[in-house]
Amino acid sequence: MTIRRALVAAASAALLTLPLLPAAAASPPRATHGASSGLRPPAKEAVAVGSGGAVSSVNPYASHVGLDVLRHGGNAVDAAVATAAALGVVEPYSAGIGGGGYFVYYDARTKRVHTIDGRETGPARMRQDSFTDPATGKAIPFDEAVNSGLSVGVPGTPATWQKALGKWGTVTLGQALRPATRIADDGFVVNDEFRAQTKMNEARFRDFTSTAQLFLPNGRLPVVGTRFRNPDLARTYRELAREGVNALYRGPIGRDVARTVQNPPVAKGATRTVRPGLMQRSDLAGYRAILRAPTHTTYHGLDVYSMAPSSSGGTTVGEALNILENFRLSPSDKVQALHDYLEASRIAFADRNRWVGDPAFSDLPAKELLSKDFAKDRACLIRPDTSLTSPLAPGDPRNPGQGCSRGTGSQEPYEGPSTTHLVTSDRWGNVVSYTLTIEQTGGSAITVPGRGFLLNNELTDFDFTPLQEGVPDPNLPGPGKRPRSSMSPTLVMRDGSPLIAVGSPGGATIITTVLQTLVNRLDLGMSLPEAVAAPRISQRNRTTTEAEPAFLDSPERPALEALGEHFVLAPATFTPSPEIGAVAALEFGPDGKVTAVAEPKRRGGGSAMVVHKTS
């Protein structure tokens, strides 16, 4: 028996009987909400140190699922897929099989980094003007686009799971789905965050019958401390386990998805304008998750790998790091370091907005955007005593030497602020950094009737109309096209071995969150837990810089304002609090120990776990 076959057999047998959660009391199959019956969520810690593998995510149920997979012989890929499936149950407003994402994997055996582009695609009937009013030629109201079938892209998450497991996993998709299926059947305890996110979406959830029935049981918000079950999703997961992902892409689940997109289940009496979508079953049948080469750059001798376009995460984080390499960021002058960080982000976003889209539809200069020469050319814009003015004009990475031009560019387009991120590692040294999403919190607000999951609104990540007259826009809608994303699942390597795995939700603030976390850790002398917990600021080539409350109360604020920065409170868009991002990260020490880190407070606090914990 080969080593791989032995691993598959061992992990498969373990998952058949995996004791994931405390046993739940028997309940009627249709019950979706009720008393907790003694079911307690796993313990939640923001930091865990140890060996044998690790998991970090926003939710303790999901992290516990991944940890049990590792404990029973699964590898980092098995754990990542099982954790993601569990997040689809307990974080249904951020991720699920109705969405997509990007999967970054380090293979310890080959010492190579691989990535999967599981981004949603526009249906075959989508055109550049699909989000414009034919009578006026202007963009339709954004709210009408979000809460509609028109915003729903062809889901990529199930295809991503299947491709990852098929290439690098040791269990089948069906086995990876079992733990999440059990949670969907037995239920999870409603916490303050879940109730608050439901309340944020209550008005639009009530406008769709299937969504109100699932997430507003008996017409009311879920009660903190009670059990929330999703038997429809459990049945859907079982169907995927039995039939494979073709149940969605070519089978009955896909039939229901296409029918729902074309005819959203609008509640009687709803006054919202709900546009039908363009997706057909043939769009689902034609979907493919794509293996892509990762982006790569270096930063002070470290190798940084991330996601290539259709995501802008790898090129934008990478370009900003390349720009910052031209400066000395020091903890002894934190104000100047933060100034340089904000300016590098501003410049990189100007270039991102102009050049990055789906590489299948445009001549995209990804390699040139990550050129050290181009970064040095753009770095000449940064002055130590004054801030740049946004919107800044983009540079041309194919024609370096023009980077110091301070012309006017276009404003940053909107991108939904929700999403979720997870990281896993195993005893063999494999590592996964995986970001997945259904776009904004609650996605399109449309639940597929009888299926238990929300559909994405990812197509609103397209630019509805060109950002700047007379300038080509690589991110306009199109058939089969992937809208530009900011998801930035990232791996930092030292001498060929993993050092840091990191990522975050947060729409376009994902890029700045990952960048600031790396600057905090690699330049400003913070430990990884400190780097994650530190107050965040986000500059994305906008006239103002978003900031969390803790930063607005910091001594660095007035000093940066004296340089010309204009700070505003970050909007409370994907949580009830004004927060930027929600990091999950791992750091690998020279002694073989791994430090797993989750948010201590943002989004209610995350959950970091290790197989063998040390003090």
- Of the residues 260, 419, 420, 424, only one is catalytic, namely 419
For 37, 61, 185, 187, 419, the CA distances from 23, given in Å and listed in that order, are 10, 14, 11, 10, 30
- The candidate with the shortest Cα–Cα distance to 230, out of 180, 175, 178, 176, is 180
Residue among 283, 240, 175 at smallest CA distance from 453: 240
Identify whether 217 is preceded by a cis peptide bond (ω within 30 of 0).
no
Residue 3 exposed, middle or buried by CB count within 10 Å (0-12, 13-18, 19+) = exposed
Which tokens hold the place of 201? 């979406």
Distance CA 144, CA 131 (A): 10
Half-sphere exposure of 106 (CA within 13 A, CB side): 29
Beta bridge pairs of residue 295: 306
Question: If we measure between CA atoms, which residue out of 520, 521, 564, 522 comes closest to residue 539?
Answer: 564
Q: Cα(161)–Cα(169) distance, rounded to whole angstroms?
A: 10
| Residues paired with 567 in a beta bridge | 545
In this structure, what are the phi and psi dihedrals at residue 428, rounded to the nearest 5 degrees?
A: -90, -5
Name the 3-class secondary structure at 174.
helix
Task: Burial-class residue 128 by CB neighbours within 10 Å (0-12, 13-18, 19+).
Answer: middle
Quick one: how many helices (H) and strands (E) in the chain?
20, 19
The strand pairing partners of 493, in sequence order, are 303, 498
8 Å CB contact between 498 and 508: no
Q: Is 115 a catalytic residue?
A: no
φ, ψ of residue 148 to 5 degrees: the values are -160, 165
Please, are residues 15 and 69 in contact by the beta-carbon 8 Å criterion?
A: yes
Residue 76: which H helix or E strand, with range?
A: helix 76-90
Integer Cα distance of 427 and 433 in angstroms: 16
Residues noted as catalytic:
419
